[in-house]
């Protein structure tokens, strides 16, 4: 609640006082005299009566009402009183769980107008906000300052608030990232010039601080400028470790932001180079890949991709290959042979069943990068926590990414077209689980027969063209005349998800156009593209968006495909890219385990590591143009372009359905497994 004012006020001479009172209207004079008569004796006067209601609300825990009451009073209060009332309102908004409103109120606070108790409360409010942003160092400074605002300590009304915040602060300080930040602050304080060894020690200390937290703390205007400069540099270095092409430009921009930092540009670049050299591939890596059986071709593409990456960056390491077959026992034998050869890192196996068999072995003691998803619920054995990872081109993960990308692009009402198969049902359910959030809808879901070529009847039902035809026929029967009409499709669909391979999609896409749905954006699963550049055969797919690999985007012409037999003209390009990433990611796995925000930009996608050690892939995004895959703009840029072009692109993401014929209102469908 607001505090009594204890400001020293200038003394008014009697004549001046009479002059001021004489200028007031009679009604205002009456209010002044009544307030004076009711005032408590003593030199310190309480705030006006408007604050009492805020006090009452606050005392009974109705913080939102208290905040609103104090804000109302601040509007009419004198400037020197308004700031204190707004601090009280901000505190109440925080306790009401609305930090955004607290921040908005604080923007109108003038710290110079605050009394000592109000300054203490202001610091407590700022400390609360700092803790919500995970800035314990800033909160610690503010809490200490709140204690020193008054020589006699905090007012009793703020003691509980202080103790609560201090407890929250201790909890954050106990986290590994916070401990490392505290250590880093001490290291920075002791460094007045560039010390190469001390700088490397500082960068290693900060490895447990995530990229996201580094970015937030580096932008903190209240923190020490030398410290924020070091945090910003650590982030710049981390962002340019894997791909160093732009590091000089990034360091130059860093120095422009921190012109007074103790490091020069050349010293910062030296720090980057020394730090990057610390990340080496394992000494001896064993690759367990199919050398026979039905996955032999896939194994050869992965092998050749890995060796191309190894040839570019051998790093003094040794790579050994142990072929596997279709039998699970072949993988177990290959694993033990790798151990006998002294391998300190395993890459593979590829088959899901083989991964499960190897990871289920007793006494597993070597770090593993599997080339498939880790089993559900897998827990690393003791001694290997965080050292068993999985890298794959999971179709399930791709469909989840499709739904997320469509949602990020602003689409709200989807049509789902999947084959009538176990795989199709699985894809439909995965898309549904991700897309049906934030009031988005699946307005219809249809299953097509894979063996059929003509899907007109199904598409007419999905687009409600059959209903439009039926209405026209009823009208003809009623009027007993022949009328000319054009069937109208439904207008409540703004995106289509199509689960199909290339052959199926080349049948369905033209038929969608024929039924006047060619303007509805279509997302397809990655299977739509074979990887072999063939513009003439793929022209029917123009406009279809799909997840792919960066490698396939940069090798979209026949002349760009390397002359490697295992690539099969590009058909196995995605697996070749996985092989490259399997080698290139090894040096960075340790940092990825520590920093969930660290991104490895690979040839098969961009990867982050989750808490379970799984490498989460963000695919590249493509759209067919003239039969070739082209890079799809990011969702935000794409949505802005569509809004700019307006009606030329048909239904816009998130737009409301247009006029509908009778009986064609959208029917939300939340379970694609049940059909339309």
Per-residue pLDDT tens over the stretch 172-208:
766 666 778 888 988 998 899 999 999 999 999 999 8
- At residue 644 the predicted structure's pLDDT band, cuts being 50, 70 and 90, is very low
Distances (CA, A) of 355 to 373, 476, 673: 8, 65, 30
Q: Which domain holds residue 116?
A: 47-173
Q: Are residues 625 and 489 in the same domain?
A: yes
Give a three-class secondary structure readout of 108-161.
CCCHHHCCHHHHHHHHHHHHHHHHHCCCHHHHHHHHHHHHHCCCCCCCHHHHHH
Give the residue-averaged pLDDT of 21-47.
38
Q: What is the pLDDT of residue 669?
A: 36
Residue 364 within any structural domain of the chain: yes
The 10s digit of each residue's pLDDT in 529-540 is: 999 999 999 999
Residue 293 within any structural domain of the chain: yes
Residue 565 within any structural domain of the chain: no
- At residue 151 the predicted structure's pLDDT band, cuts being 50, 70 and 90, is low
Identify the weakest region by mean pLDDT among 218-232, 519-533, 659-673. 659-673
Q: What is the pLDDT of residue 285?
A: 97
Q: Which two tokens stand for residue 111?
A: 């710290």
CATH number at residue 127: 1.25.40
Residue 21 within any structural domain of the chain: no
Q: Are residues 403 and 384 in the same domain?
A: no
Residue 515 within any structural domain of the chain: yes
Q: Is the pLDDT of residue 673 over 70?
A: no
Domain final position from 235, 255, 276: 276
Q: Are residues 527 and 544 in the same domain?
A: yes
* Longest alpha-carbon distance in the chain: 107
> Helix, strand, coil % (nearest 5) of the chain?
55, 10, 35
CATH number at residue 325: 3.40.50.2300
Q: What is the pLDDT of residue 150?
A: 63
- The helix/strand/coil state of 251 is helix
Give the global pTM: 0.71
Q: Is the Cβ–Cβ distance between 369 and 585 less than 8 Å?
A: yes
Q: Are residues 519 and 401 in the same domain?
A: yes
Which residue, among 173, 238, 252, has the nearest Cα to 203 in the 3D structure? 238
Q: What is the pLDDT of residue 491?
A: 87
Q: Is the pLDDT of residue 36 over 70?
A: no
Give the residue-averaged pLDDT of 593-608.
94
Q: Are residues 56 and 110 in the same domain?
A: yes
Q: What is the pLDDT of residue 3?
A: 58
Q: Are residues 81 and 160 in the same domain?
A: yes
Most confident of 117-121, 312-316, 379-383, 428-432: 428-432
Q: What is the pLDDT of residue 241?
A: 96
Q: Is the pLDDT of residue 18 over 50?
A: no
The 10s digit of each residue's pLDDT in 95-150 is: 999 998 999 899 889 888 999 889 999 999 999 998 887 777 778 888 888 877 76
Q: Is the Cβ–Cβ distance between 598 and 238 less than 8 Å?
A: yes
Give the residue-averaged pLDDT of 275-295.
95
Distances (CA, A) of 279 to 49, 180, 348, 577: 66, 20, 21, 21
Q: Are residues 288 and 435 in the same domain?
A: no
Q: Is the Cβ–Cβ distance between 275 and 239 less than 8 Å?
A: no
Q: What is the pLDDT of residue 159?
A: 82
The 10s digit of each residue's pLDDT in 495-510 is: 999 999 999 999 999 9
Identify the weakest region by mean pLDDT among 127-131, 170-174, 375-379, 670-674. 670-674
CA–CA separation, 108 vs 459, rounded Å?
58
Share the mean pLDDT of the chain.
84
Domain final position from 393, 428, 452: 393
Q: Are residues 296 and 348 in the same domain?
A: yes
Q: Are residues 371 and 405 in the same domain?
A: no
Q: Which two tokens stand for residue 618?
A: 């963000």
Q: Which two tokens stand for residue 670?
A: 């939340």
Q: What is the pLDDT of residue 180?
A: 84
Query: Would you call 155 exposed, middle or buried from its count of C-beta atoms within 10 A (0-12, 13-18, 19+)?
Result: middle
CA–CA separation, 373 vs 364, rounded Å?
18
Q: Are residues 496 and 618 in the same domain?
A: yes
CA–CA separation, 124 vs 144, rounded Å?
10
Residue 571 within any structural domain of the chain: no
- At residue 7 the predicted structure's pLDDT band, cuts being 50, 70 and 90, is very low
| Count of domains observed in the chain | 4
Give the residue-averaged pLDDT of 80-87.
91
- At residue 37 the predicted structure's pLDDT band, cuts being 50, 70 and 90, is very low
Q: Are residues 516 and 636 in the same domain?
A: yes
Q: What is the pLDDT of residue 244?
A: 95
Give the residue-averaged pLDDT of 450-468.
86
Q: Are residues 264 and 293 in the same domain?
A: no
Residue 64 within any structural domain of the chain: yes
Identify the weakest region by mean pLDDT among 218-227, 498-507, 547-556. 218-227
Q: What is the pLDDT of residue 33?
A: 37
- At residue 59 the predicted structure's pLDDT band, cuts being 50, 70 and 90, is confident
Domain final position from 235, 258, 276: 276
Give the residue-averaged pLDDT of 282-287.
96
Q: Is the Cβ–Cβ distance between 664 and 490 less than 8 Å?
A: yes
CA–CA separation, 279 vs 299, rounded Å?
27
Q: What is the pLDDT of residue 658?
A: 39
Q: What is the pLDDT of residue 141?
A: 81
Give the residue-averaged pLDDT of 249-273.
96
Give the residue-averaged pLDDT of 232-261.
96
Q: Is the pLDDT of residue 38 over 50?
A: no
Residue 203 within any structural domain of the chain: yes
Q: What is the pLDDT of residue 638?
A: 55
Most confident of 106-120, 472-486, 535-549: 535-549
Q: What is the pLDDT of residue 474?
A: 73
């Amino acid at each position: 609640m607001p505090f009594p004012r204890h400001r020293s006020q200038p003394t008014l001479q009697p004549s001046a006082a009479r002059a001021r009172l004489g200028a007031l209207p009679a009604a205002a004079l009456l209010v002044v005299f009544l307030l004076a008569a009711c005032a408590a004796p003593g030199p310190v006067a309480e705030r006006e009566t408007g604050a009492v209601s805020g006090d009452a609300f606050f005392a009974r825990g109705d913080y939102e009402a208290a905040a609103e009451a104090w804000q109302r009073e601040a509007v009419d209060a004198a400037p020197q009183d308004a700031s204190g009332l707004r601090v009280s309102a901000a505190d109440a908004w925080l306790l009401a769980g609305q930090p955004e409103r607290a921040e908005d109120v604080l923007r109108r606070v003038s710290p110079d107008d605050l009394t000592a108790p109000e300054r203490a409360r202001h610091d407590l409010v700022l400390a609360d906000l700092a803790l919500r942003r995970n800035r314990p160092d800033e909160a610690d400074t503010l809490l200490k300052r709140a204690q020193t605002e008054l020589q006699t300590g905090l007012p009793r009304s703020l003691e509980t608030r202080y103790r609560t915040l201090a407890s929250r602060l201790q909890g954050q300080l106990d986290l590994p990232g916070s401990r490392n930040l505290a250590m880093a602050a001490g290291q920075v304080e002791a460094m007045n010039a560039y010390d190469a060894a001390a700088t490397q020690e500082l960068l290693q200390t900060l490895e447990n601080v995530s990229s996201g937290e580094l970015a937030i703390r580096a932008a903190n205007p209240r923190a020490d400028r030398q410290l924020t400069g070091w945090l910003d540099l650590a982030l710049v270095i981390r962002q340019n470790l894997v791909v160093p092409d732009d590091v000089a430009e990034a360091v130059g921009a860093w120095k422009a932001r921190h012109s007074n930092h103790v490091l020069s540009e050349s010293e910062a670049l030296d720090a980057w180079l020394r730090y990057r050299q610390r990340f080496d591939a394992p000494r001896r890596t064993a690759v367990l890949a199919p050398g026979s059986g039905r996955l032999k071709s896939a194994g050869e593409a992965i092998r050749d991709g890995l060796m191309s990456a190894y040839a570019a960056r051998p790093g003094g390491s040794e790579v050994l290959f142990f072929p596997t077959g279709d039998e699970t026992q072949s993988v177990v034998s290959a694993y033990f042979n790798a151990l006998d050869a002294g391998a300190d890192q395993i890459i593979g196996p590829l088959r899901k069943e083989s991964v499960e068999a190897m990871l289920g072995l007793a006494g597993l003691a070597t770090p593993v990068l599997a080339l498939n998803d880790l089993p559900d619920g897998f827990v690393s054995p003791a001694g290997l926590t965080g050292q068993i990872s999985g890298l794959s081109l999971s179709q399930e993960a791709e469909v989840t990414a499709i739904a997320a990308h469509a949602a990020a692009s602003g689409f709200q009402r989807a049509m789902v077209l999947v084959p009538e198969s176990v795989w199709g049902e699985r894809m439909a359910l995965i898309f549904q689980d991700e897309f049906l959030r934030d009031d988005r809808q699946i307005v219809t879901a249809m299953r097509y027969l894979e063996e059929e070529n003509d899907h007109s009847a199904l598409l007419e039902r999905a687009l409600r063209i059959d209903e439009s035809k039926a209405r026209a026929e009823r009208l003809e029967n009623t009027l007993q005349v022949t009328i000319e009409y054009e069937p109208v499709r439904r207008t409540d669909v703004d995106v289509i998800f199509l689960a199909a391979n290339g052959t199926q999609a080349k049948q369905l896409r033209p038929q969608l156009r024929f039924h006047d749905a060619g303007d509805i954006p279509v997302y397809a699963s990655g299977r739509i593209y074979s990887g072999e550049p063939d513009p003439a055969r793929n022209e029917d797919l123009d406009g279809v968006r799909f997840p792919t690999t960066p490698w396939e985007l940069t090798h979209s012409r026949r002349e760009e495909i390397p002359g490697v037999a295992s690539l099969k003209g590009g058909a196995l390009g995605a697996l070749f890219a996985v092989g490259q990433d399997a080698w290139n990611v090894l040096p960075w796995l340790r940092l990825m385990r520590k920093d969930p925000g660290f991104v490895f930009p690979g040839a098969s996608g961009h990867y982050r590591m989750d808490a379970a050690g799984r490498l989460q892939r963000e695919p590249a995004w493509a759209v067919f143009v003239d039969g070739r895959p082209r890079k799809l703009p990011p969702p935000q840029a794409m949505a802005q372009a569509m809004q700019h072009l307006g009606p030329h692109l048909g239904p816009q993401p998130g737009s409301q359905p247009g006029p509908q014929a009778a009986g064609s209102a959208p029917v939300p469908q939340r379970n694609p497994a049940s059909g339309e």
